[in-house]
Each structure stands twice: as structure tokens, then as C-alpha cells.
Amino acid sequence: MFIYNHKVHYYETDRMGVTHHSNYIRFMEEARVAYLDSLGASYAQAEADGIISPVIEVSGRYWHTTTFDDMLDIEVYIKSMTTFKLKIGYTIRCRGELVFEGWSLHCFLDKDNRPVKVDEKYPQFKAQLA
């Protein structure tokens, strides 16, 4: 299990003092980058190797609000994968309470925008399937 921590900044809240919903997509990205780094599949190295990994779909459900100075515990995991796509799941808790669940779907492309076989290029992902 991989947990990434994020402390909600003041600028991430709206006029009501609640963390703006759009920031959860950013939190997912922060956590995903750290998770992939931990697996030895960093974005920096992938890009140096001529591989990009765009988000092709994203979904989320908000269960409770968070506010300035809250500490978020973001669990990141590989939800599923196919030859060409990787789905990453996210569960965000604050003080143990579920506040958000979501996922993002990614493909991997080479410098000519041809699909890269995720399962061959990153075999460590398969070992992480939840």
C-alpha cells in the first residue's frame, strides 16, 4: 500500500472555506507521480526515454469536505491494466474519514505517438494490481 500525504493550502479552498473540487484532480496527480517514482517508473525517466502518459479518463466521487490545513492521506494503487492502458485508483481520507474516491486511466505513447505496451515496458505494475 502506498500512502501520499498532502496538507490543504489556503489557496486550494473556495469562498466557503472548503477545498475546491478541482484540486482533487491535482492531489491525484501529485500522489500518482510519487507512487510511480516509488515503483521505479518515474515520469521524468519515462519522458527522458521518449514516453508520455496522458490521462485519457478520470472519475471521482466526493464523500465529505475538507478545509484549509487538513492533512489528507491519499492511498494510490493500480486498479487494473491491459496491454495498453493503466487504471490507477485513489482513496483520500482525512483523520481516518473517507472524503474522496477516484481513478484515472492512462495510456503510454512513444515519441511518434504510437502506443507502448504497458505490460511489457513496466512489468512492475502487474505485481501491484489490487
d(CA 89, CA 106): 11
List the 71-81 sheet strands across, edge first: 2-7, 71-81, 85-94, 97-107, 55-62
Can you give the pLDDT at residue 130? 60
Can you give the pLDDT at residue 129? 82
Does the pLDDT value for residue 9 go beyond 80? yes
Fill in the amino acid letter for 5. N
Q: Which CATH superfamily is domain 2-127 in?
A: Hotdog Thioesterase (3.10.129.10)
The DSSP annotation for 80-114 comes to EE-SSEEEEEEEEEETTEEEEEEEEEEE-B-TTS-
pTM of the predicted protein model: 0.93
Grid cell locating 109: 505513447
User: 72-104 pLDDT, tens per residue?
Assistant: 999 999 999 999 999 999 999 999 999 999 999
d(CA 23, CA 63): 15
User: 49-73 pLDDT, tens per residue?
Assistant: 999 999 999 999 999 999 999 999 9
Asked whether the CA dihedral 40, 109, 82, 56 is positive or negative, the reply is positive
Helix (H), strand (E) at residue 73: strand 71-81
Q: In the chain, what are the domain boundaries?
A: 2-127
What distance, in Å, lies between the first and last C-alpha atoms of the chain? 9
Does the pLDDT value for residue 39 go beyond 90? yes
d(CA 87, CA 90): 10
Counting residues of the chain whose pLDDT is more than 90, the rounded percentage is 87
